[in-house]
Amino acid sequence: MLPTATDLQALWLTFRLAGTTTLILFIIGTPLAWWLERSPSFWKKPVGAIVALPLVLPPSVMGFYLLVTLGPHGPVGQMTQALGLGTLAFTFWGLVIGSVVYSLPFMVQPLQTAFAAIGPRPLEVAATLRASPLDAFFSVVVPLARPGFITAGILSFAHTVGEFGVVLMIGGNIPGVSRVASVQIYDYVEAMEYADAHRLAAILLVFSFLVLLAMYTWKPGARQGGIH
């Protein structure tokens, strides 16, 4: 049974959200993971705990606080309204913010593991060759940590595709705006349309299996980039 137009709309929104979230996470998560691995600061432990919080916090709790923050009476909501942008709750970009926060550990922890596996020696050699810290990072660290980057990207994308609680709380159930595939499946089940739910769920099941199969088949990424 082929997916319906509604299914395709939900899938397109889901993959668009996952792609946007993963790109933003690379930009935010790379320097954060590097700082968490290399900094001697006392603050890296509290910051690391905050980054890992989505791994143990119920999605509905995180979604609720994000909804309050982005809503009309929250600090971010008041700021965006003052700028004439309205509120971000129940919008695509509200979903992006929630997904970035919720998937952050799936980007940061694999990168942190990959950076730790490199050790200090390559950077010491780069320093003796008068490479600047930024040049050493891009010419030495990034190539050596490539398996970690690939694994972090795969995990972040796949985790965002599978989100439900956070996106439902912060985005609601608006067709074409915030009704992602997981919410569409929920709607089918709630309406007792199990055949439709099975069709869409099977697509996500196959996608998730292929993603994990690719990650575990590519052994360098499996060794260096796992969640710890």
Instruction: Find out whether 165 and 172 touch, Cβ atoms under 8 Å.
Output: no
Q: What is the pLDDT of residues 187-222, one digit of tens each?
A: 999 999 999 999 999 999 998 898 888 878 875 544
d(CA 177, CA 39): 40
d(CA 112, CA 149): 10
Query: Positive or negative, the Cα torsion across 19, 22, 28, 34?
Result: negative
DSSP code at position 3: P
d(CA 33, CA 10): 32
State the pTM of this model. Answer: 0.87
Helix (H) or strand (E) holding 64: helix 59-70
Q: What is the pLDDT of residues 72-87, one digit of tens each?
A: 888 999 999 988 888 8
Instruction: Find out whether 170 and 63 touch, Cβ atoms under 8 Å.
Output: yes
